[in-house]
């Protein structure tokens, strides 16, 4: 399974680790907040050393209750990080976490961003899909209902896995019609899902893999971990690593994480186990 990133094929026969760089003051996990050129450069270089295959940069916190960020400020934060990326790690595939089409366009045209990671899956900005199609970049299609402010009021599902897959499949059909060919599927753990629904989707992650596209698992330090264990996001690394291993065993192609080395180790170990039992 591959996606085309500006003429380079990324092969997911071995899963990839996507390191998170949040250039925000209010992301839900304080340890991920990275402000200033030196801090960004240090985080990127550490991720490279620890085994990241790609990086995802976000300038707008999507946690419930986070402050509004205007498009100009979001782009300014992203541009600062992207300039550092191009200085210290120019070859790494870069994803930008934004739901705004204009911000996405500027990041691609001005900084050569490879992937747009849209938490809204096209629902928060109606111009996003046509923008991605015109830019010919890869696209992370995530499932969410409502907005970050309202999503946890919209968790009514009869069968969460089936309904999320149906919604994503419809959107993939529409994206294909626009000419977007390189699509990564993200079930949207934590976005308009209860803790129990998140665990159901994780157990059934193989059903998402049957869609025939790389599946991204974004489980890192999320509510389903720290609420279940009675800990804080800061104490949720062991739980994250456990769930990442389950996601890999169920077929995930990408782990989106705050902590690169444990995820890279999980990829190596699960891959070794799968090769041993073939």
Q: What is the mean pLDDT of residues 173-197?
A: 96
Q: Say whether pLDDT at 26 is over 60.
A: no
H or E element: which one contains 118? strand 115-118
Whether 68 has a pLDDT exceeding 90, the answer reads: no
CA distance 71 to 202: 33
Residues contacting 150, CB < 8 A, separation 6+: none
Mean pLDDT of the chain: 93
Q: What is the pLDDT of residue 51?
A: 97
Residue 189 pLDDT greater than 60, yes or no: yes
202 pLDDT band (50/70/90 cuts)?
Answer: very high
Q: pLDDT tens-digit profile of 75-133?
A: 999 999 999 999 999 999 999 999 999 999 999 999 999 999 999 999 999 999 999 99
Question: What is the structure's pLDDT at 60?
Answer: 86
What's the pLDDT score for residue 64?
58
Which two tokens mark 40?
A: 């960004």
* Share above pLDDT 90 across residues of the chain, in percent, rounded to a whole number: 82
Instruction: Give the pLDDT of residue 151.
Output: 86
All domains of the chain, ordered by start, with CATH?
12-276 (3.20.20.20)
Going by C-alpha positions, the residue among 2, 4, 44 that lies closest to residue 212 is: 2
Average pLDDT over residues 67-73: 83
CA distance 124 to 189: 18
Angstrom distance (rounded) from CA 142 to CA 123: 10
Write out the catalytic residue numbers: 222, 256
pLDDT at 32: 54
Higher model confidence: residue 235 or residue 1? 235
pLDDT surpasses 90 at 254: yes
For residue 276, give both structure tokens.
């041993």
């Amino acid at each position: 399974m591959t996606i085309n990133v500006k003429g380079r094929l990324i092969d997911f026969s071995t899963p990839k680790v996507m390191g998170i760089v949040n250039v925000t003051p209010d992301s839900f996990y304080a340890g991920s907040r990275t402000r200033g050129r030196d801090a960004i450069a240090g985080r990127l270089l550490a991720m490279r050393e620890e085994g990241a295959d790609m990086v995802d940069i976000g300038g707008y916190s999507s946690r419930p209750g986070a402050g509004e960020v205007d498009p100009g400020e979001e782009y300014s934060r992203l541009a600062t990080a992207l300039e550092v990326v191009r200085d210290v790690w120019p070859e790494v595939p870069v994803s930008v976490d934004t739901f705004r089409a204009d911000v996405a366009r500027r990041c691609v045209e001005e900084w050569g961003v490879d992937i747009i990671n849209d938490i809204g899956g096209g629902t928060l900005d109606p111009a996003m899909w046509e923008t991605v199609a015109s830019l010919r970049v890869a696209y992370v299609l995530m499932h969410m209902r409502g907005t970050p402010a309202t999503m946890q009021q919209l968790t009514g599902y009869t069968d969460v896995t089936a309904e999320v897959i149906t919604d994503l499949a419809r959107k993939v059909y529409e994206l294909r019609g626009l000419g977007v060919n390189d699509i990564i599927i993200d079930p949207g753990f934590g976005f308009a899902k209860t803790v129990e629904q998140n665990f159901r989707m994780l157990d059934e992650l193989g059903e998402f893999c049957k869609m025939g596209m790389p599946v991204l698992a974004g489980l890192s330090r999320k509510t389903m971990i720290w609420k279940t264990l009675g800990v804080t996001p800061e104490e949720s690394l062991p739980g994250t690593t456990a769930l990442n291993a389950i996601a890999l065993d169920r077929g995930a192609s990408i782990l989106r994480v705050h902590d690169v080395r444990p995820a890279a180790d999980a990829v190596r170990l699960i891959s070794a186990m799968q090769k041993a039992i073939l």
